[in-house]
Amino acid sequence: MSDARPTPLTFAELCERHLDLRPLRGRARGLVRCIFHADSSASLSLDLDKEVFHCFGCGVGGGAWQFAELVGQPMTSPVALGRPLSSREEARLDVLRRERRARARRALYAPAYHLASTICRGHQFVKRVRAEAKNDTPETWDQLARAADLEVMTWQLEADADEELLAAVHADRVGSRRRR
């Protein structure tokens, strides 16, 4: 029985199949005619080494995956084909993993950050009221009473923020243990 898996195509092979690469004259990058719009002159910039393209006429552009999808020939993942990843693909995958982890960590710490910023604003307001409370008037006493109430609420928020932060740190540590 034959293997039913498709033969992996490189970006250069995809470009050779769908574009006229003669204007490149054997170079790895340059301008060719775009197949995505009616092109009368070379407006599609290709870099076969970096696996990127951009058309200055219609604005289409991207990497090898986008090109493959646009020509109707989706590429198969190198991992799914059993081919080892190139160093460039490894680096891209590593960056994507780090970005995903960073987004997850930001989501974990967001509630604690929000509480901390609210606490800071509360402390700043109390300081400002105390600094301005030089006159012995009923309005001043009312402002000081509101500032005292706000300070009590701020202390409660600090306790809540500590709990949120501890929960986020715990979830972050548990998540980092799972990734190892």
Q: CA-based Rg of the chain, rounded to a whole angstrom?
A: 30
Higher pLDDT, 179 or 144: 144
Rounded to whole angstroms, the Cα distance separating 83 from 96 reads 20
The pLDDT assigned to 151 comes to 77
> pLDDT value at position 1?
46
Encode pLDDT of 113-166 as tens digits: 777 777 777 777 777 777 777 767 777 777 777 777 777 777 777 777 777 777
Query: For residues 84 and 17, is the Cβ–Cβ distance under 8 A?
Result: no
To which H or E segment does residue 179 belong? Answer: helix 138-179
- Domain ranges for the chain, please list them: 11-70, 87-179
Statement: the pTM of the whole predicted model exceeds 0.85: no
Helix (H) or strand (E) holding 52: strand 52-55
Q: Which CATH architecture has domain 11-70?
A: Alpha-Beta Complex (3.90)
pLDDT at site 31: 94
Share of the chain above pLDDT 70, in %: 84
Q: Compare 16 and 171 and report the one with higher pLDDT.
A: 16
pLDDT for residue 82 is more than 70:
no
